[in-house]
């Protein structure tokens, strides 16, 4: 379970645009978090009811995850890639409670983390932030599932 495979990555253009159009967001340094939880039944026709997702695009995992580091903030590609690598590693280690919550609720989630700091930060800062983000997402999903939202 402590893996991060290709199928967990959010790479579908229609799903990405849906996440950025309809997703909720919040900020926790150094990331802007965008998320969109939906029922698993609704996920297949999520982008367009007339053209559902194909078999390769379906949700094999409860979360499809995206990391973005803007070149406007971090100029060097090597630094951007390092930040992405550290973020994916921190997510890989902290995703288990979020996955189990979504599985028990019968939901899936699109999740994007956009790096917002002006300088690269240490792995400890990234891991603390990702851990907090996963916990906050769990709370928000519970609220939404209980109808408090």
Residue 83, pLDDT score: 98
Q: How far apart are CA 40 and CA 8, in angstroms?
A: 15
Question: For the chain, which residues score pLDDT lower than 50?
Answer: 149
Count of Cβ atoms closer than 10 Å to residue 115 Cβ = 21
Backbone angles phi, psi at 32, to 5 degrees: -100, 125
Give, for 80, the enclosing helix (H) or strand (E). Answer: helix 77-94
Residue 145, pLDDT score: 76
Residue 30, pLDDT score: 97
Q: How far apart are CA 53 and CA 46, in angstroms?
A: 8
Q: Which domains does the chain have, with CATH numbers?
A: 6-145 (3.30.230.10)
pTM value surpassing 0.85: yes
């Amino acid at each position: 379970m402590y893996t991060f495979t290709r199928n967990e990555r959010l790479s579908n253009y229609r799903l990405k645009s849906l996440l950025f159009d309809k997703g909720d967001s919040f900020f926790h340094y150094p990331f802007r978090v965008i998320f969109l939880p939906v029922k698993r039944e609704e996920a297949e026709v999520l982008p367009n009811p007339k053209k559902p997702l194909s078999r390769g695009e379906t949700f094999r995992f409860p979360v499809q995850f995206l990391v973005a580091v803007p070149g406007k903030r971090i100029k060097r590609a090597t630094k951007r890639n390092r930040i992405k690598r550290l973020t994916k590693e921190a997510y890989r280690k902290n995703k288990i409670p979020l996955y189990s919550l979504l599985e028990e609720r019968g939901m899936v989630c699109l999740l994007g983390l956009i790096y917002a700091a002006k300088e690269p930060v240490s792995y400890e800062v990234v891991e603390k932030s990702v851990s907090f983000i996963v916990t906050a997402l769990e709370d928000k999903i519970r609220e939404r599932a209980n109808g408090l939202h």
